[in-house]
């Protein structure tokens, strides 16, 4: 109270530009709504933003008890030890220890060939949307799909792996719906809405095992695709569409495998794979029921 | 479960060890600086500065007062756990690899690598209670093993020392005389380098992990092969659960051998096997590189894994883990029961 009275006497002309702290008494006090039965805690803080407007910041956190800590007496003593070594210069900002943002489950082993179980706990609405085929979220940093975009990657500080495969269940994410082209990539006629997909328009050898690769970089050619795909099995034909005028790749190509299983493997492993500077889209050349 | 990620090491992890009470976790890595963390929330407590080479293994005394570490800088060092102060340094002629305190913490077994003209050795040192009395003298030196000795541990009652390493053979030695007592059978034993060894909580059996893509469970006194767990990747780390019939294996391809495959984010997993039924229960993914270190917390409610990616991942088990195990066992009992009835 005395401080407030003293502050009234300060001449406003002498206040520093960023001395908003002096006016804090004008703000309502911050409120902490303690953890409720779901562990949700809300902290409401009032402050002034850069324009001098009163702003209310609500931080909602979920407080989870990580483990029942039943510590022995000596363990409790050890908890009081001061930090030493490199931990001395640790401040609250250093994020050495953080809880993973994703839920990791003990995955049951699956017989080879059967599809992976969908994690039951992905209540994240964004993840659900991508599983519906509407949006294909690919993070370039960790190569993971359907969870977050690159700017939201929890593994931001890791060196982006130059070669990442993302394995996704072969059947649960069918070819993306026609409404959702990735990054404005070319959508071939068979993939567009209302297209005729009988597959008769493709007269190629092994067209049962034909895989379409899109979002290729402009200098990708047949030998590159062959090298990338041959590790999955014998390849009977590769083709990359090239613009005759400029000589650049039109960004898509086809790979025909001798064996269908190899094609299936290639699709599940290479879709979303970062190749050259782009994320590949790999799918069946014509939609295939599994 | 939501693992806690701890990125305190700049380079691959080599070893993880909990203290006896299970509230501290010690991590060793190739970055020269062993670190200690609180085992419940993963907060870093401190680091031990002083080594000049990769730190391969460590052990902590039962009262959590002393830490011993073995490093490629040809020393093994004794530290005061609470302050990070280096108490003593054992010097060797070759990189030190494996280290373990004996029961009672009055002895430690340390192995050294084959290096230039030196053969690999297993050495036993006295650990003095008062650090001023500590000497560099070896109570026992065992030579005669050809390949690198990756792990040497004490047997029950400190009567024996068990070694395993590059020559894929497990040997049991008398800890007083240094005499070779037993050797594992070549046919049924591992076929490639044994990378890791971990004892059960009562030391009655132990598990070894090998680059031959399997792990094997052995009796500590007779060296009989009890179980074999088969996996698809070379095994770098193993541990036995102290409270349940589970073992965990971790591994993955050596970073050098990875060409186009398996760099998918977070694919490397720690695999859990039922200890008795030898069947895989499940796997926990998350590491970006091969797993080099695994350890169960002595209370059996959590475990941590250390990877080539420099991360330590600390997992507190949720009910999933316990339920899956029970379900597994129930199914098998039913299956066997149908045989008997038929």
pLDDT tens-digit profile of B68-121?
999 999 999 999 999 999 999 999 999 999 999 999 999 999 999 998 888 999
Query: In whole angstroms, what is the distance from residue A213 CA to residue A284 CA?
Result: 9
**At a CB cut-off of 8 Å and minimum separation 6, what does A109 contact?**
B280, B281, B282, B283
Cβ within 8 Å, pair B263-A164: yes
Q: CA geometry: angle at B341 spanning B340 and B342, to 5°?
A: 95
Tell me the average pLDDT across B59-71: 95
Q: Mean pLDDT throughout B321-335?
A: 70
Question: Percent of chain B, pLDDT > 90?
Answer: 71
Phi then psi for residue A257, to 5 deg, are -90, 155
Distance of alpha carbon B52 from alpha carbon B75, whole angstroms: 9
In chain A, which residues have their Cβ closer than 8 Å to the Cβ of B285?
A: 104, 107
Which residue in B has a C-alpha nearest to residue A87's C-alpha? Answer: B46
CA distance B49 to B35: 9
CATH number assigned to the domain comprising residue B195? 2.130.10.10
pLDDT at residue number A195: 56
Are B247 and B229 contacting, i.e. CB atoms less than 8 angstroms apart? yes
State the Cα–Cα distance between residues A33 and B183, nearest whole angstrom: 65
Checking if the pLDDT of B66 tops 80, the result is: yes
Q: What are the chain B neighbours of A68 within 8 Å (beta carbons)?
A: 301
Chain A: closest CA distance from residue B227 (Å): 20
Cβ <8 Å between B6 and A96:
yes
- pLDDT confidence of residue A173: 41
Tens digits of pLDDT across chain A (290 residues): 444 444 456 566 765 555 445 566 677 777 887 777 777 778 888 877 788 788 888 877 766 665 555 678 888 888 888 888 888 776 655 668 888 877 777 777 765 544 444 333 333 444 434 344 344 556 666 655 555 666 666 655 554 444 434 444 444 444 444 444 455 677 777 666 655 555 444 444 466 788 899 988 888 888 888 888 988 888 888 999 888 888 888 888 999 888 888 888 888 888 888 888 888 889 888 765 45
Rounded average pLDDT over B333-337: 68
0.90 cut: is pTM over it? no
Task: Answer whether B315 touches A (CB < 8 Å).
Answer: yes
Q: What is the pLDDT of residues B253-265, one digit of tens each?
A: 754 445 545 445 5
Spatial distance between the Cα atoms of B338 and B274, rounded to a whole number of angstroms = 21
Q: Where are the beta strands (DSSP E) in A223-286?
A: 235-242, 249-257, 274-275, 278-279, 281-284
CB-based burial, B199-211: b 16+ in 10 Å, e otherwise: bbeebebbbbbbb
* Residue B339: strand, helix, or coil: helix
- Residues of chain B with Cβ-Cβ distance to A167 below 8 Å are 264, 267
Q: Which residue of B has its CA nearest to A143?
A: B265
Residues of chain A found within 8 Å of residue B304, distances taken between Cβ atoms: none
Between helices A222-229 and A260-270, what is the axis angle to 10°? 100
Name the burial class of residue B33, with classes exposed (0-12), middle (13-18) and buried (19+) by CB atoms within 10 angstroms of its CB: buried
Smallest CA–CA separation between A171 and chain B, in Å? 19
Per-residue confidence (pLDDT) for residue B227, from 0 to 100: 94
Tell me how many domains chain B contains: 1
Residue B85, SS3?
Answer: coil
What residues pair up with A46 in beta bridges, in sequence order?
A56
Chain A partners within 8 Å of B49 (Cβ): 85-86
Q: Which residues of A touch B301 (CB under 8 A)?
A: 67-68
Q: Which residues of B touch A138 (CB under 8 A)?
A: none
How do the domains of chain A map onto residue ranges?
A: 23-84, 207-284
d(CA A87, CA A95): 12
In what helix (H) or strand (E) does residue B324 lie, and over which residues does it extend?
Answer: helix B319-341
* Facing residue for B23 by CB, picked from A71, A103, A163: A71
Question: In the prediction, which pLDDT does B90 show?
Answer: 94
β-strands A274-275, A278-279: how paired?
A: antiparallel
Contacting residues of B for A97, CB less than 8 Å apart: 4-6, 37, 41-44
What pLDDT does B293 receive? 96
Q: What pLDDT, on the 0 to 100 scale, is given for residue A276?
A: 81
| Residue B282 to residue A72, Cβ atoms within 8 A | no
Other beta carbons less than 10 A from residue A122's beta carbon: 16
Nearest of A136, A128, A138, A146 to residue A177 by alpha carbon? A136
Contact B45 A81 (CB under 8 A): yes
Pick from B1, B22, B29, B46 the residue to mutate for testing the A interface (most A CBs within 10 Å).
B46
Mean pLDDT of chain B: 89
Residues 6+ apart with CB under 8 A from B11: B29, B30, B31, B54, B310
Q: Which residues of A touch B316 (CB under 8 A)?
A: 66-67
B266 lies within 8 A of chain A by CB:
yes
Q: Does B232 touch chain A (CB under 8 A)?
A: no
Nearest beta carbon to residue B33 from set A86, A96, A143:
A86
Q: What is the pLDDT of residues B221-258, one digit of tens each?
A: 999 999 999 998 899 999 999 999 999 999 987 544 45
Q: Dump strand ranges (E) for B211-311.
A: 214-219, 225-230, 235-240, 246-251, 268-274, 280-287, 291-296, 302-307
What distance in Å separates the CA atoms of residue B188 and residue B204, rounded to the nearest whole number?
20
B18 in helix, strand or coil?
strand
Contact B44 A164 (CB under 8 A): no
The DSSP symbol for A285 reads: S
Q: Which residue of A has its CA nearest to B82?
A: A81
Cα separation, A104 vs B1, whole angstroms: 5
Nearest to A97 among B44, B83, B267 (CB): B44
Angle value at C-alpha B47, between B46 and B49, nearest 5 degrees: 145
Nearest CA in chain B to A268: B264
pLDDT at A246: 83
pLDDT value of residue B144:
84
pLDDT tens digits, one per residue of A127-149: 434 344 344 556 666 655 555 66
Residues in A closer than 8 angstroms to B321, CB to CB, are 106
CATH fourth-level superfamily of A207-284: RRM (RNA recognition motif) domain (3.30.70.330)
Question: Considering only alpha carbons, which residue of chain B is nearest residue A227?
Answer: B260
Chain B residue numbers with beta carbons less than 8 Å from the beta carbon of A64 are 2
- Closest Cα of chain B to A179: distance in Å? 28
Q: B46 vs A86: CB contact, 8 Å cut-off?
A: yes
For residues A203 and A237, give the distance between their C-alpha atoms in angstroms, rounded to a whole number: 13
- CA separation for the pair B287, B269 (Å, rounded): 7
Count of C-beta atoms within a 10 Å radius of residue A288: 17
**Alpha carbon distance A159, A104 (integer Å):** 22
For B197-209, how does the pLDDT look when each residue is reduced to its tens digit (9 = 90+)?
A: 999 999 999 999 9
With H, G, I as helix, E, B as strand and everything else as coil, classify residue B45. Answer: strand
How many Å apart are CA B289 and CA B284, to the nearest integer?
13
Domain that holds residue B195: 4-338
CA distance B122 to chain A (A): 31
- Rounded Cα distance between A66 and B318, Å, is 10
Q: Which of B21, B263, B281 sits opposite A75 (nearest CB)?
A: B21
Alpha-helical segments (H) within A83-184: 125-131
For residue A89, count CB atoms less than 10 angstroms from its CB and return exposed for 0-12, middle for 13-18, buried for 19 or more.
exposed
What's residue B341's pLDDT? 58
Cβ distance of B272 and A143 shorter than 8 Å: no
Q: Which residue of B has its CA nearest to A72?
A: B21
Per-residue model confidence (pLDDT) at position A70:
65
State how far the Cα of B213 lies from the Cα of B252, in Å rounded to an integer.
9
> Between residues 11 and 50 of chain B, which touch chain A (CB distance below 8 Å)?
21-24, 33, 35, 37-38, 40-49
Contacts of A231 in chain B (CB under 8 A): 260-261
The structure tokens listed for A5 are 């009275």
* Cα atoms in the Cβ-side hemisphere of radius 13 Å centred on B66: 23
């Amino acid at each position: 109270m005395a401080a407030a009275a003293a502050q009234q006497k300060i001449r406003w002309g002498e206040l520093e530009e960023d001395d908003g702290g002096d006016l804090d008494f004008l703000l309502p006090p911050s409120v902490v709504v303690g953890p409720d039965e779901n562990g949700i805690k809300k902290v409401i803080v009032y402050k002034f933003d850069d324009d001098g407007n009163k702003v209310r910041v609500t931080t909602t956190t979920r407080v989870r008890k990580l483990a029942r800590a039943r510590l022995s007496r000596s363990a409790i003593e050890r908890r009081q030890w001061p930090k030493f070594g490199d931990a001395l210069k640790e401040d609250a900002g250093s994020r050495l220890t953080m809880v993973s943002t994703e839920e990791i489950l003990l995955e049951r082993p699956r017989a080879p060939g059967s599809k992976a179980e969908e994690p039951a706990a992905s209540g994240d609405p964004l993840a659900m949307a991508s599983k519906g085929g509407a949006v294909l979220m690919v993070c370039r940093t960790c190569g993971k799909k359907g969870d977050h975009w690159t700017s939201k990657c929890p593994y931001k500080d890791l060196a982006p792996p130059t070669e990442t495969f993302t394995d996704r269940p072969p059947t649960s994410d069918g070819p993306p719906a026609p409404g959702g082209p990735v990054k404005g990539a070319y959508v071939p006629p068979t993939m567009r809405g209302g297209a005729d997909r009988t597959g008769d328009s493709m007269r190629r050898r092994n067209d049962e095992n034909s895989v379409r690769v899109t979002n290729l970089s402009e200098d990708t050619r047949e030998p590159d695709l062959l090298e990338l795909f041959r590790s999955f099995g014998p390849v009977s034909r590769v083709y990359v569409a090239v613009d005759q005028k400029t000589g650049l790749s039109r960004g898509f190509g086809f790979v025909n495998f001798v064996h269908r299983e190899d094609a299936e493997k290639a699709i599940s492993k290479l879709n979303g794979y970062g190749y050259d500077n782009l994320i590949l889209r790999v799918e069946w050349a014509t939609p295939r029921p599994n | 479960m939501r693992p806690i990620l701890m990125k305190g090491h700049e380079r691959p992890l080599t070893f993880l060890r909990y203290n006896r009470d299970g509230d501290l976790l010690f991590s060793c890595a190739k970055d020269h600086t062993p670190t200690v963390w609180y085992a419940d929330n993963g907060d870093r407590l401190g680091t031990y500065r002083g080594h000049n080479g990769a730190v391969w293994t460590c052990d902590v005394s039962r009262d959590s007062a002393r830490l011993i570490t073995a490093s490629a800088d040809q020393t093994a060092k004794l530290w005061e756990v609470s302050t990070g102060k280096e108490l003593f340094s054992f010097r060797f002629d070759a990189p030190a690899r494996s280290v373990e305190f004996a029961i009672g913490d009055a002895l430690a077994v340390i192995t050294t690598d084959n290096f230039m003209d030196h053969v690999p050795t297993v050495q036993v040192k006295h650990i003095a209670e008062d650090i001023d009395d500590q000497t560099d003298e070896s109570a026992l030196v065992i030579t005669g093993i050809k390949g690198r000795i990756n792990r040497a541990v004490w047997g029950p009652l400190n009567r024996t020392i068990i070694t395993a390493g590059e020559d894929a053979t497990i040997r049991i030695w008398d800890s007083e005389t240094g005499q070779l007592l037993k050797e594992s059978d070549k046919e049924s034993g591992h076929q490639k380098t044994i990378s890791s060894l971990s004892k059960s909580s009562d030391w009655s059996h132990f598990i070894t992990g090998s680059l031959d893509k399997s792990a094997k469970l052995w009796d500590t006194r007779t060296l009989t092969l009890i179980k074999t767990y088969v996996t698809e990747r070379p095994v770098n780390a193993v541990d036995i659960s102290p409270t349940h019939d589970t073992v965990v294996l971790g591994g993955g391809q050596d970073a050098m051998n990875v060409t186009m495959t398996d760099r998918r984010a977070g694919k490397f997993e720690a695999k859990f096997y039922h200890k008795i039924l030898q069947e895989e229960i499940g796997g926990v993914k998350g590491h970006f590189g091969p797993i080099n270190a695994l350890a169960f917390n002595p209370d059996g409610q959590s475990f941590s894994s250390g990877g080539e990616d420099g991360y330590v991942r600390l997992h507190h088990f949720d009910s999933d883990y316990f339920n899956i195990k029970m379900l597994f066992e129930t199914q098998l009992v039913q299956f066997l029961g149908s045989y008997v009835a038929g």
